[in-house]
Amino acid sequence: MSVITKILKVPVLKNPVMICGLPGSGHVAKLSLDYLIQELKAELFAHLVSFSFPPQVNILSDGSVDILKSSMYYWENKDGENDLILYTGDAQPITPEAEYELSDKVTEIGKKIGVKTLFTLAAFIIGRFVDKPRVYGTATDQMALRELEKYDVILMNEGTITGMNGLLVGFAKLKDMRGICLLGETSGYILDPKSSYSVLQILTKMLKLNVDLSNLEKRAKETTAVIKGLQELQRRSEAQQKGTKEDLGYIS
Q: For residues 238 and 246, is the Cβ–Cβ distance under 8 A?
A: yes
Q: Which stretch binds a copy of itself (CB under 8 A): 79-87, 156-164, 204-212, 230-238?
A: 156-164
Query: Is residue 59 close enough to count as binding a copy of itself by CB under 8 A?
Result: yes
Q: For residues 41 and 104, is the Cβ–Cβ distance under 8 A?
A: no
The one-letter code for the residue type at 93 is: P
DSSP letter (8 states) at residue 78: S
Query: Which of 45, 53, 73, 124 forms a contact with a copy of itself (CB under 8 A)?
Result: 53
Query: Which of 79, 131, 158, 212 forms a contact with a copy of itself (CB under 8 A)?
Result: 158
Q: How far apart are CA 23 and CA 54, in angstroms?
A: 13
Minimum gap (Å) between residue 201 Cβ and a copy of itself = 21
Size of the site for a copy of itself (CB under 8 A): 59
Give ∠ CA 68-25-30 in degrees, rounded to 5: 50
- According to CB under 8 A, which residues from 160 to 179 bind a copy of itself? 160-164, 166-167, 169-171, 173-174, 179
Query: Which of 78, 112, 127, 142 forms a contact with a copy of itself (CB under 8 A)?
Result: 142
What lies within 8 Å, CB to CB, of 11 at 6+ separation is 43, 45, 74, 83, 85, 113
Query: Is residue 181 close enough to count as binding a copy of itself by CB under 8 A?
Result: yes
Sign of CA dihedral 152, 202, 125, 141: negative
Query: Which of 97, 222, 232, 238 forms a contact with a copy of itself (CB under 8 A)?
Result: 97
Measured CA to CA in angstroms, residue 129 lies from 202, 213, 247 at distances of: 20, 21, 13
Query: Is residue 68 close enough to count as binding a copy of itself by CB under 8 A?
Result: yes
Collapse the DSSP code of 51 into the 3-class scheme (helix H, G, I; strand E, B; otherwise coil) and give the result. Answer: coil
Residues present in the chain in total: 252
- According to CB under 8 A, which residues from 189 to 248 bind a copy of itself? none
Query: Is residue 125 close enough to count as binding a copy of itself by CB under 8 A?
Result: no
- List residues binding a copy of itself (CB under 8 A): 1-2, 4, 6, 47, 49, 51-69, 94-101, 104, 138-142, 145, 155-164, 166-167, 169-171, 173-174, 179, 181
